Amino acid sequence: MANVVVVGAQWGDEGKGKIVDWLSNRADVVARFQGGHNAGHTLVVDGVTYKLSLMPSGVVQGKLSVIGNGVVVDPWAFIEEIEKVRAQGVNITSDLVKVAESATLILPVHRDLDALRENRDDGMKIGTTRRGIGPAYEDKVGRRAVRVIDLADEAALRARVQDLLHHHNALRRGYGQDEYQAEDLVQALLEIAPKILPYADPVWRTLDRAMKAGKHILFEGAQGTMLDVDHGTYPFVTSSNTVAGQASAGTGVGPGKVGYSLGIVKAYTTRVGEGPFPTELHDAMGQRLGERGHEFGVVTGRKRRCGWFDAVLVRQSVRVNGLDGIALTKLDVLDGFPELKVCVGYKLDGERLQRLPAGKEAQAKIEPIYEIMEGWEASTQGARSWADLPAAAVKYVRRIEELIEAPVAMLSTSPERDDVILMQDPFRP
């Protein structure tokens, strides 16, 4: 199979950045297909840490890096990130990074609206990253977005901005905010346009040409399946489809070309922001997972909520993404726990469930049914072969495979690039 798509199978932060960086070695192109700078992907290479939000994780290895039409792009954040990554010694040029001409722009009005909604105190806040992601996608679907290509034509840009502000200023008045002046926004965009336009590209054509030339594409998902706007814990989700199927629509590549679907799965569960989390731990055990796993958000610095592995939820992810295999990450964080719990079903009003119910109220009410597994004392940190793993750790991994009905193709045992055990090469399954 020529191409691979990587998606998060839980609530994000599963370690996608590390795995995409590792797999980049086997790919020619790395393409983002949804989300925006709400993502925070961490790569650690020889002790140097890179934190990427909008840049595909293949940039560090110098791979052609594509930001697809399905991504929402904050032009200021884009330039800032290029400068940050350059300062770390990564060579970024417009030959290396391409942004879809048809990608939607995130503008200051989107950030404002995200914050206005998050600041309310009616118990309905989502706990977003406040990057303007949701409001930008709303405008895209509402057919009033300003897109990358609009930066190339001043008259068209002015018309788009006026149309957009017609909508936003009505909202702003409702929130008791000052109206936005169209000309201020137009001038700000005209100022940044020459910095963005060199990267603008018909990425569907670039990817088509790459495939025809026999190149391998790695599609890099952001967020996770339980944050998908359709398949996740709605309304506590992000505003895009995060599932593997979106790799096709979000870049302009046919669904048959996407190839192997690799789900990234943490060996336990974390979530940042509001919303249901059946296996969440509020005790010392949860605290310990958070400390050992350094569970703090890359983008917002918020503490991540932690809990036991939820096999029901991951099995559902396996199905809705059509996962061919998973990369199980952060196994080392579980070292030294005397016993481990794995959720194998839910209880709801006396009934046993084998799937996550769709309704928000039911999701908040379900109780996990646990299977208890033996922990291990020995260290798995940095392990690079099966033989290095304690028997109980092997048993834990095998039980997970059985429960989620998908094979573990890769196992990650530290943040470092090369601390990986490969069981099945997604590019050559």
Catalogue the active-site residues: 13, 41
CA dist 296 and 70 (Å) reads: 27
> E strands within 33-135?
41-45, 48-52, 64-67, 72-73, 97-100, 104-105
If binding is defined by CB under 5 A, does position 220 make contact with Mg ion?
Answer: no
Residue 127 binds which one of Mg ion, ligand IMO, ligand GDP, none, with CB within 5 to 8 A depending on kind? Answer: ligand IMO
Site for ligand GDP in 33-72 (CB under 6 A): 40-42, 44
Which stretch in 79-87, 262-270, 296-304, 340-348 sits in contact with Mg ion by CB under 5 A? Answer: 296-304
Pairing state between β 29-32 and 269-271: unpaired
If binding is defined by CB under 6 A, does position 238 make contact with ligand IMO?
Answer: yes
For residue 98, count CB atoms less than 10 angstroms from its CB and return exposed for 0-12, middle for 13-18, buried for 19 or more. Answer: buried
Kindly state the smallest distance separating residue 421's Cβ from ligand GDP, in Å: 10
If binding is defined by CB under 5 A, does position 13 make contact with Mg ion?
Answer: yes
Site for ligand IMO in 153-192 (CB under 6 A): none
Distances (CA, A) of 275 to 39, 175, 272: 18, 25, 9
**Number of chain positions touching ligand GDP (CB under 6 A):** 22
Task: Note the Cα 44 to chain centre separation in Å.
Answer: 17
DSSP letters, 408-428, are EEEEE-SSBTT-EEESS-TT-
Closest to 41 in 3D by CA, of 25, 57, 27: 57
Q: Are 191 and 181 in contact (CB under 8 A)?
A: no
If binding is defined by CB under 6 A, does position 223 make contact with ligand IMO?
Answer: yes
Kindly state the smallest distance separating residue 12's Cβ from Mg ion, in Å: 6
Site string for ligand GDP, 166-185 (x = CB under 6 A): --------------------
In the list 222, 243, 289, 318, the residue contacting ligand IMO (rule: CB under 6 A) is 222
Closer of 40 and 150 to ligand IMO (Cβ): 40
If binding is defined by CB under 6 A, does position 272 make contact with ligand IMO?
Answer: yes
If binding is defined by CB under 5 A, does position 40 make contact with Mg ion?
Answer: yes
Kindly state the smallest distance separating residue 234's Cβ from ligand IMO, in Å: 11
Closer of 223 and 321 to ligand IMO (Cβ): 223
In the numeric block, the tokens 């002046």 are attached to 181
Question: Sign (positive/negative) of CA torsion 357, 290, 415, 268?
Answer: negative
* Residue nearest ligand IMO (C-beta atom): 273
DSSP letters, 100-114, are ETTPEEP-HHHHHHH
Distances (CA, A) of 291 to 142, 285, 305, 330, 422: 42, 10, 11, 13, 27
- Structure tokens belonging to residue 260: 């192997």
Residue 18 binds which one of ligand IMO, Mg ion, ligand GDP, none, with CB within 5 to 8 A depending on kind? Answer: ligand GDP
If binding is defined by CB under 6 A, does position 55 make contact with ligand IMO?
Answer: no
Residue 15 binds which one of Mg ion, ligand GDP, ligand IMO, none, with CB within 5 to 8 A depending on kind? Answer: ligand GDP
Closer of 175 and 296 to Mg ion (Cβ): 296
Closer of 248 and 329 to ligand IMO (Cβ): 329
In the list 38, 57, 316, 321, the residue contacting ligand IMO (rule: CB under 6 A) is 38
Q: How many CA atoms lie within 13 A of 192 on its CB side?
A: 21
Helix (H) or strand (E) holding 217: strand 217-220
If binding is defined by CB under 6 A, does position 8 make contact with ligand GDP?
Answer: yes
Kindly state the smallest distance separating residue 366's Cβ from ligand GDP, in Å: 25
Q: Are 240 and 35 in contact (CB under 8 A)?
A: yes
Residue 187: CB atoms within 10 A of its CB come to 10
In the list 28, 81, 150, 332, the residue contacting ligand GDP (rule: CB under 6 A) is 332
Catalog residues that contact ligand IMO under the rule CB under 6 A: 8, 11-13, 38-41, 126-129, 131, 133-134, 222-224, 227, 238-239, 272-273, 298
Contact residues for ligand GDP, defined by CB under 6 A: 8, 12-18, 40-42, 44, 294, 298, 329-330, 332-333, 412-415
